[in-house]
Amino acid sequence: MNDPLWYKDAVIYEAHVKSFYDSNNDGIGDFNGLTQKLDYLQGLGVTCLWLLPFFPSPLKDDGYDVADYRNIHPSYGSLEDFTVFVQAAHARGLKVLIELVVNHTSDQHPWFQRARHAPAGSPERDFYVWSDTDKKFPETRIIFSDTEKSNWAWDPVAGQYYWHRFFSHQPDLNHNNPAVVDAVIDVLRFWLDLGVDALRLDAVAYLCVGEGTSNENLPETHAVLKELRARVDAHFTDKVLLAEANMQPEDVRPYFGDGDEFHMSFHFPIMPRVFMALRLEDRKPLIDIIERTPSIPDSCQWGIFLRNHDELTLEMVTEIERQYMWDEYAQDPQARINLGIRRRLAPLMEGDRRRIELMSGLLMALPGSPILYYGDEIGMGDNVYLGDRNSVRTPMQWNGGANAGFSAADPERLWLPLISNALYGYQAVNVESQQRNPTSLLNWTRRLIEVRRLTRVFGRGAIEFLKPDNHRVLAFTRTLGRESVLAVNNLAGTAQAVELDLSRFAGAIPVEMFGASKEFFVFLDGDIFLTREDIKANLLKCREHDFASAFRAICELEEDDTLRLLGNDDRWNYNGKYEPRRKKDLCDSSCIITRRGMRALGGWPETNGRTATDMSTRVEQSLKVFDSPGVARRLFHG
């Protein structure tokens, strides 16, 4: 991966060192432990690791309260352990993304201690933002609304109030002061010199302040960021800066500048809208936000995610939408925090494998580089009773044994208790058992990542929505040069019929991406793909009845090259006669595409009043797809 645009094709995995693997049995994950688990991450297929803050810190904000920018928290190891980790990651082709939390420090940071003791107006005091009154900047909102009543806190030593956008133990650095910016650049160079590939700049929108403003997205802040970028480019190649700005896309757009500010930025508002679309069974919220997203310079990239270490933030939706999300996804008030929801992906999906797959499929197929949150690849649960956002930061579940294989310490000593309930507990949900099971969520996720990595079209291609009449179906193409991918997503809980106008692909040869067959593919129930190659090569992997029906379809296809009947499992008897058992089966059909252009035949039961023969004339120019919940993707070569 020597491409300077490597981040555009990246699949990023967000992990918490302290929750990943404990190598010295003190109940806290550490760098040596993480290094030991790199093979797992390489096997999963991710290409970049994002680590939450691991610096010396009083840990009142789980490390986002940094007390020393140039060291490792002793619980996690030493700088040497860190260097070994970086080398081991690089040896496996994995990039390393770490946090640069420079909007604020811990109040324990020597800069702050120095500042409060120094006289007002001195260079030391000026590292932070001070005021004699707590009434200054009334236009600025409070972010941690559950815990903070003001953005000012009184410091008795300094005899002044200091400014803080987050917790009151996190004073904001004064980025209006060039000396602060210089100090930050030194920190940034320190880590890049150690081999780190990318930096996530936490809370970038709040760096500078200005009288009479909201203190967000100020021009002064952009000037600081452009300077950081210029200094990175002057000293390094292939290093990447990622912005955390929880804003609407039009407000985030300036953080890319003309390709001279950030390489990447999170796209926050996509995330709640994916969840909303699923619950509403309507593609509108998602299409709206993507169509509203301004284009960005060619060298830039969005970072998209479903869940992360924070609450599922609802800051960027309307009040009505927020209430809807709370009602649907966080009925238990304990699951709510600030303006969000502190839960993980699997419980949000009520453990429904199909919905988890649909969401992960979208994460991989929508524009941007996907970010997976550790544990979500196995469907880990959360614990909303742990306080703050620890609900989603519990130890990784490696196996069903003692402490889930995370640590050999006494269970009481673990920094957070494991998830141990009957549904999501480590006995039921863990890496080891899922590795053994070919159909597990873990193995499915691995294959999904593999498919994403087959082509650059996902990371770099344009998106176009197809907007069929059925608004429960979200269909879009991603196109890069002569290559296009079609993604069809059924947002509904029931099977849906949809007609897609694919006339612009007439003459193209479809390739089913999971099986890579160019000849044709069959999908059964929308979530199992069988191809001729699959059947030849992976006979044993198919469940018996899947194999039987696919095989039958192939035989029929080979006989006369038109398909009279197609169907799922045992609803088709061996004489090719359709025998629906339940009403639901009527629309639960399959679809085959042959090499002969775009001919697709839906398996309409005659009781629907339409026969396959009727359809064959109508579908010359378009692809008919029946899909039950799940994700279907087709790749066309022009």
- Within 535-554, which residues bind ligand GLC (CB under 6 A)? none
**Separation CA 565–CA 560 (nearest Å):** 12
Question: Is the Cβ of residue 73 or residue 267 nearer to Ca ion in the bound state?
Answer: 73
Alpha-carbon torsion (296, 301, 307, 311), positive or negative: negative
Dihedral angle of Cα 605, 609, 612, 615, to the nearest 10 degrees? -140
Q: Which residue has the tokens 């996902």?
A: 458
CB of 309 to ligand GLC, least distance (A): 6
CB of 377 to Ca ion, least distance (A): 23
Q: Which residue is nearest to ligand GLC (CB)?
A: 64
**Token pair in block for residue 270:** 């996509």
Q: Over the Cα atoms of the chain, what is R_g?
A: 26
CB of 65 to ligand GLC, least distance (A): 7
Answer for the pair 390, 337: CB distance below 8 angstroms, yes or no. Answer: no
DSSP strands (E only) in 90-239: 95-100, 130-131, 152-155, 160-163, 198-201
Residue 398 touches which of Ca ion, ligand GLC, none (Cβ within 5-8 Å per kind): none
DSSP β-ladder status, 95-100 and 48-51: parallel
Residue 346 touches which of ligand GLC, Ca ion, none (Cβ within 5-8 Å per kind): none
CB of 202 to ligand GLC, least distance (A): 5
CB of 76 to ligand GLC, least distance (A): 17
Task: Write down the catalytic residue from 202, 357, 388, 525.
Answer: 202
Does residue 258 have an active-site annotation? no
CB of 553 to ligand GLC, least distance (A): 49
Task: Write down the catalytic residue from 14, 65, 99, 244.
Answer: 244
**Token pair in block for residue 147:** 């815990």
Residue 152 touches which of ligand GLC, Ca ion, none (Cβ within 5-8 Å per kind): none
**Site track for ligand GLC across 63-102, x = CB under 6 A:** -x------------------------------------x-
Question: Is the Cβ of residue 106 or residue 484 nearer to ligand GLC in the bound state?
Answer: 106
- Within 306-325, which residues bind ligand GLC (CB under 6 A)? 309-310
Question: Is the Cβ of residue 24 or residue 177 nearer to Ca ion in the bound state?
Answer: 24
- Within 469-488, which residues bind ligand GLC (CB under 6 A)? none
Question: Is the Cβ of residue 365 or residue 414 nearer to Ca ion in the bound state?
Answer: 414
In 3D space, the residue among 438, 458, 433 whose CA is nearest the CA of residue 361 turns out to be 458
Question: Is the Cβ of residue 169 or residue 453 nearer to ligand GLC in the bound state?
Answer: 169
The H-or-E segment that residue 276 falls in is helix 270-280
Dihedral angle of Cα 307, 76, 200, 168, to the nearest 10 degrees? 80
Question: Is the Cβ of residue 26 or residue 227 nearer to Ca ion in the bound state?
Answer: 26
CB of 433 to ligand GLC, least distance (A): 31
Q: Does 415 bind ligand GLC (CB under 6 A)?
A: no
State the residues that interact with Ca ion by CB under 5 A: 22, 24, 26, 28, 30
Q: Give the number of other CB atoms < 10 A from CB of residue 179.
A: 12
- Within 164-203, which residues bind ligand GLC (CB under 6 A)? 166, 202-203
Residue 190 phi, psi dihedral angles, 5° rounding: -55, -50
Residue 30 touches which of ligand GLC, Ca ion, none (Cβ within 5-8 Å per kind): Ca ion
CB of 272 to ligand GLC, least distance (A): 16
Question: Is the Cβ of residue 101 or residue 598 nearer to ligand GLC in the bound state?
Answer: 101
Question: Is the Cβ of residue 143 or residue 535 nearer to ligand GLC in the bound state?
Answer: 143
**Separation CA 15–CA 12 (nearest Å):** 10
**Separation CA 93–CA 88 (nearest Å):** 9
DSSP letter string, 99-122: EE--SB--TTSHHHHHHHHSPTTS
C-alpha distances in angstroms, 130 versus 115, 169, 202, 232, 383? Answer: 10, 14, 21, 30, 38
Answer for the pair 47, 83: CB distance below 8 angstroms, yes or no. Answer: no
CB of 409 to Ca ion, least distance (A): 8
Residue 61 touches which of Ca ion, ligand GLC, none (Cβ within 5-8 Å per kind): ligand GLC
Q: Number of H helices and number of E strands within the chain?
A: 19, 25
Does residue 328 have an active-site annotation? no
Q: Does 61 bind ligand GLC (CB under 6 A)?
A: yes
Question: Is the Cβ of residue 27 or residue 515 nearer to Ca ion in the bound state?
Answer: 27
**Token pair in block for residue 188:** 């940034």
Residue 24 touches which of ligand GLC, Ca ion, none (Cβ within 5-8 Å per kind): Ca ion
The H-or-E segment that residue 188 falls in is helix 178-193
Answer for the pair 224, 178: CB distance below 8 angstroms, yes or no. Answer: no
Q: What is the DSSP letter of 419?
A: P
Residues present in the chain in total: 638
C-alpha distances in angstroms, 317 versus 271, 302, 480? Answer: 10, 19, 31
Q: Does 112 bind ligand GLC (CB under 6 A)?
A: no
Single-letter residue type at 330 = A
Residue 22 touches which of ligand GLC, Ca ion, none (Cβ within 5-8 Å per kind): Ca ion
Exposed / middle / buried, residue 369 (Cβ in 10 Å: 0-12, 13-18, 19+):
buried
Residue 404 touches which of ligand GLC, Ca ion, none (Cβ within 5-8 Å per kind): none
Applying CB under 6 A, the residues found at the interface with ligand GLC are 61, 64, 101, 166, 202-203, 309-310
Positions marked active-site: 202, 244
